[in-house]
Structure 1
């Protein structure tokens, strides 16, 4: 049923139909380009945000590396202050060290706990081997502390590791008896 009030479409001349198809094709191309440009811009924003975060993290790590010697000197001062009879000085140094340690931990710095762990060349530097009853490659002593910053090695720990030979020597001695 046809509504008598509805306007009727006039037949479109052949020439106008070609223009319409051409405009539709151009619109499709431009729409596609717009979508690609929007996606490219979104990727750019994500990439620059990641780069900004990486630069910020690198700057923080560098600052932590600069602060580590100061932190360690204060730690040594705290141990040496135990020899001083002035309790106020000891408490003051302990307070400074405690606040510095707390601040570092909040920012993501962790001291590596190593004695008894297995040697890991990605986290540790072996300075010497020790004869020991411990299995070969077990960390025996920490010569210089190592630190992690947000899960990444900030400074490798310098350690001495077990050569495991003492256990072998004891086994040989018992075998000879």
Structure 2
């Protein structure tokens, strides 16, 4: 062999160089991890010393925060109650005004009912016209939530009916409504006009 063609030594082989680089990287990484762990330990170990004055100020601030939170919760509850109460009052006022308005129209209902009952024969165009108007009026009341109190043949209910006459009738039960003189009406659960009835003894 000539001097020019030298074989690479173990130190100069690519495998050795790659191994050396890998070892250097691992060592650097291990040192970084150790340093990171050391920093974390140092961070955990940090403590703060407060003076008596600072402790008192912190306690006062905590008490003030608790007081403000309590006031906020109370204020929120009061507002919620106020909102519900005003909504209820508003609805109550609306229902009262609606009941008063409908009550004023019930006289028209009575007149239409009497007119439809007394007008000529079944084929009379006037009777048919009145019946159509009466039906339309009843539909309007129904759409507004108004219902007629069922009284005929029912037990007498003093909360919904006014008895103006009594009759002795063996065919009817005691306190049973024998005849309705004027229809009564309810708006939801509220009586806007009591039924005027005759009651059997």
* TM-score (normalised: structure 2): 0.73
Change (3 A) 1:136 1:85: closer
- Quote the offset at 1:117 in angstroms: 1.1
In the alignment, is residue 130 of structure 1 matched against residue 130 of structure 2?
Answer: no
In the alignment, is residue 29 of structure 1 matched against residue 67 of structure 2?
Answer: yes
Query: Which stretches of structure 1, 4 residues or more, deviate above 3 A after TM superposition?
Result: 80-86, 89-92
State the secondary structure of the residue aligned to 1:38: helix
> Match of 2:101?
63
Of the two structures, which has the highest relative contact order with CA contacts closer than 8 Å and spacing of 6 or more? Answer: 1
Pairwise CA RMSD of aligned residues? 2.2
User: What pairs up with 1:1-177 in 2 under 5 angstroms?
Assistant: 3-4=40-41, 6=43, 8-82=46-120, 87=125, 89-133=126-170, 134-163=172-201
Max radius of gyration: which structure?
Answer: 2
Structure 1's unaligned 5+ residue stretches are 164-177
Give, in whole Å, the separation in 2 of the partners of 1:130 and 1:95. 34
Give, in whole Å, the separation in 2 of the partners of 1:142 and 1:95. 23
Deviates further, 63-72 or 108-117 = 108-117
